[in-house]
Amino acid sequence: MSEAKKYNAPVTNPETAAFWDAAKQGKFMIKRCNTCGEAHYFPRAICPFCFSDKTVWEEASGEATVYTYSLMRKSPTGPYAIAYVTLKEGPSLQTNIVDCDLEKVKIGQKVKVVWKPTDGAPLPFFTPA
């Protein structure tokens, strides 16, 4: 069912274009601040922790664990699992857990990034590792 789902292409903007360019190469990028050392997601030009503008792109492993999730059962496009996953590099992010038995998703589960096509850059989702 998730294969059939159509996703809108990201609009993108000058601040985030590098993320989407890398996504087209299958690379999952995060931003890290060279001043305070903290990684963050989604990417910003100015660090949300120390407000430094010395943020740089870094390719992330794409490995993560499920922080929480909820299986939405009342949806016109079929059930789907929204989740927050915590990347190996630290930041947590919102996503969907896909391409698996959604009834078996659980907190603490190891997952990895998987890309879904759009008419533009692909979008990152996560699936059991």
Partner 1 sequence: MTIKGKAYIAGIYEHPTRHAPDKSTAQLHAEVAKGAIEDAGLTKDDVDGYFCAGDAPGGLWPMVDYLGLNTKKLRHVDSTETGGCSYLIHLGHAAEAIAAGKCSVALVTLAGKPRTGPMPPRAAGAEADFESAYGATTHNAYGMCAMRHMHDYGTTSEQLAWIKVAASHHAQYNPHAMLKEVVTVEDVLNSPMISDPLHRMDCCVVTDGGGAMIVTTPEIAKSLKKPLVRLIGHGEAAKGPRGGKNLDLTYSAGVWSGPRAFEEAGVTPKDIKYASIYDSFTITVLMQLEDLGFCKKGEGGKFVADGNLISGVGKLPFNTDGGGLCSNHPVNRGGMTKILEAVRQLRGEAHPKVQVKNCDLAIAHGTGGLLGVRHAASTCILERA
Which residues would be at the binding site for partner 1 (CB under 8 A)? 7-8, 10-13, 16, 20, 38, 40-42, 44, 48-49, 67-75, 80, 82-84, 86-87, 90-96, 107, 116, 123
> What's the longest Cα–Cα distance across the chain?
46
d(CA 111, CA 11): 26
Residue 105, Cβ density class (10 Å: 0-12 exposed, 13-18 middle, ≥19 buried): middle
**Whole-number minimum distance, CB 1 to partner 1, in Å?**
13
d(CA 88, CA 62): 8
**Whole-number minimum distance, CB 129 to partner 1, in Å?**
19
Q: Closest CB to partner 1 among 26 and 106?
A: 106
Residue 103, Cβ density class (10 Å: 0-12 exposed, 13-18 middle, ≥19 buried): exposed
Which DSSP category does 100 fall into? S
**Whole-number minimum distance, CB 127 to partner 1, in Å?**
14
Q: Closest CB to partner 1 among 27 and 116?
A: 116
**Whole-number minimum distance, CB 81 to partner 1, in Å?**
9
